[in-house]
Structure 1
Amino acid sequence: MIRKIIHIDEEKCNGCGLCARACHESAIGIIDGKAKLLREDYCDGLGDCLPACPTNAISFVEKEAAAYDEAAVLENKKKLEAHSQLQQWPVQIKLVPINAPYFDDADLLIAADCTAYAYANFHQDFIKGKITLIGCPKLDSVDYSEKLIEIIRQNNIKSVTIVRMEVPCCGGIQNAAINAMKASGKFLPWQVYTISTDGRILA
């Protein structure tokens, strides 16, 4: 059938992966450093990926293509939910670069190390759709504020989510994140989640 789907210009693509994150159907993947339309029948033709692309490498075309298969997309989503939602590496605050393509237009998750172990559905409820930074101020014995200030200041961060444990030492990562947002000179939407030692969200 003739229908509207996306076309990716590989010469313009810089491999940032923002289109893949924006595609709710998981029709796009990054292969050999370039975005690819993995399956035509996963592309709904609505183009959520278009505004996410910083290089205008994505456009609409009308062509002979397999029909959009909503049932297959839903089944694929179920499979993906059982897998890691991590979108970048490294994740440790002290190791992550200050500038990276994945920070552009990113929702940032700043989490204490222990939270992913305490909260069972951490990937789906917190990591999914976000760029993840983790650390433990007690073990690292550092103030992450300076590094976080530069990440927020030098990149187009959309929002910040902070996840910490209820234990007092986790206050360090919350304070570092909040201080960094204030010192960056940017106004960002942000929220804090506190996880109990038995794996519940307290606030």
Structure 2
Amino acid sequence: MLRKIIKINEEKCNGCGLCAKVCHEGAIEMVDNKARLIKEDYCDGLGDCLPVCPAGAISFEEREAAAFQGCPGHQPQKLNGRLRQWPVQIKLAPLTAPYYQQARLLIAADCTAYAFGDFHREFMEDKVTLIGCPKLDSTDYSEKLTAILIENEIKDITVVRMEVPCCRGMVQAVETAVKNSGKNLQVHSATIGIKGNILE
């Protein structure tokens, strides 16, 4: 049958084994220090392996392949969400709330959670999450974020943006808010590529 399935470029593969570890169906194994798709019918075509590959050796292709059956006796791992509070939109977030106190703050462009498949586990663990889009939202995030930083005891901030130029506005808003709050806060940052990988 014609369906979407992963393709591994063995020349690009660096043998790290990350794809095999995250493949919930057991479709990928390491053979001679190279990742190999060992069973087409185990591959669900969802591509959990794509964003973890540091070498860009995995891609999707649509071709004739055995129908997805799943690994016999293997149950796909179900991940619980890491969201700790509601609402998550910056423009809807309250200025003060108990969950802000001594919190580690994650401020993310909303596209990042869709582009990077393991976003919850990689970035949201033990953090209060606020999201927005500096291009589509007609508001200055720095004012709201400044007020949140002034009114609450925040431990540190992580900013996650897409590689596209308009996402620079998210970083600028956080930098301005930290400066205007007068607080000495450590700011970590990560950039997600449009292919779903972490660039920095």
1:196 matched residue in structure 2: 193
Q: In structure 1, what is the Cα distance between the partners aligned to 2:136 and 2:187? A: 25
Q: CA deviation at 1:191?
A: 1.0
Moved over 2 A (4+): none
Q: In structure 2, what is the Cα distance between the partners aligned to 1:194 and 1:141? A: 23
- Asked whether 1:139 is paired with 2:112, we answer no
In the alignment, structure 2 segments of 5+ residues that lack a partner are 1-75
Instruction: Map 1:39-50; keep pairs closer than 5 Å.
Output: none
Q: CA deviation at 1:123?
A: 0.2
Q: In structure 1, what is the Cα distance between the partners aligned to 2:107 and 2:146? A: 13
Q: CA deviation at 1:188?
A: 0.7
Letter in 1 for 2:96: N
Q: CA deviation at 1:81?
A: 7.2
Q: TM-score, normalised by structure 1?
A: 0.60
Secondary structure of 1:108's aligned partner: strand
List per-residue Cα deviations over 1:9-59 (Å, max 9, x = no partner).
xxxxxxxxxxxxxxxxxxxxxxxxxxxxxxxxxxxxxxxxxxxxxxxxxxx
- Asked whether 1:118 is paired with 2:128, we answer no
Q: In structure 1, what is the Cα distance between the partners aligned to 2:145 and 2:77? A: 30
Contact 1:120 1:199 in 2 (8 A): yes
Instruction: Map 1:42-191; keep pairs closer than 5 Å.
Output: 82-191=79-188
Q: In structure 2, do the counterparts of structure 1 residues 81 and 193 end up closer, same or farther at CA, with 3 Å as the change threshold?
A: farther
Q: In structure 2, what is the Cα distance between the partners aligned to 1:88 and 1:80? A: 24
List per-residue Cα deviations over 1:122-179 (Å, max 9, x = no partner).
0001011000000001111221000000101110000000000000010111100111
Q: TM-score, normalised by structure 2?
A: 0.61
Q: In structure 1, what is the Cα distance between the partners aligned to 2:116 and 2:190? A: 11
Q: How many residues end up aligned between the 2 structures?
A: 125
Give me the CA root mean square deviation. Answer: 1.5
1:37 matched residue in structure 2: none
Letter in 2 for 1:113: D
Letter in 2 for 1:188: L
Percent identity, aligned pairs only? 57
Higher helix share: 1
List per-residue Cα deviations over 1:62-82 (Å, max 9, x = no partner).
xxxxxxxxxxxxxxxxx9971
CA radius of gyration, larger in? 2
In the alignment, structure 1 segments of 5+ residues that lack a partner are 1-78
Contact 1:93 1:135 in 2 (8 A): yes
Q: In structure 2, what is the Cα distance between the partners aligned to 1:125 and 1:112? A: 15
